[in-house]
Amino acid sequence: GDSVTQMEGPVTLSEEACLTINCTYTATGYPSLFWYVQYPGEGLQLLLKATKADDKGSNKGFEATYRKETTSFHLEKGSVQVSDSAVYFCALIPSGGSNYKLTFGKGTLLTVNP
């Protein structure tokens, strides 16, 4: 079945450091890929997405590129801020439209210290 594997956290960085959170997936065809963010005490919200190979999603200084050849969708940011402290989830939905279920990774907790 479909699955998403994220790097295990927690990840602790200093402000202005570079961030990479690895995400790889297993799925048939060309799934759509997502990064969701969960700030403390809140629900998840979409951070960025990509729907086909080589697409780059970007938002709030975060980027991720859909790499079909390596089945990866790594999240990157060049300079993190304290306000980026949150849990980040990688997710996919299969292609074709017959499966409505988002498959999530287990989440990566990021803490950014001033």
By CB under 8 A, name the binding residues for another protein. 32, 34, 36, 41-46, 49, 51, 89, 93, 97, 99-102, 104-107
Torsion angle, alpha carbons of 65, 39, 8, 33, to 10: -30
**Phi–psi pair at 29, nearest 5 degrees:** 70, -145
User: Could you check whether the bond before residue 31 is cis, i.e. omega within 30 degrees of 0?
Assistant: no
| Alpha helices (H) in 40-114, listed in sequence order | none
CA atoms of 57 and 46, how far apart (whole Å): 11
Specify the residue, 10 or 114, whose C-beta has the smaller distance to another protein.
Answer: 10
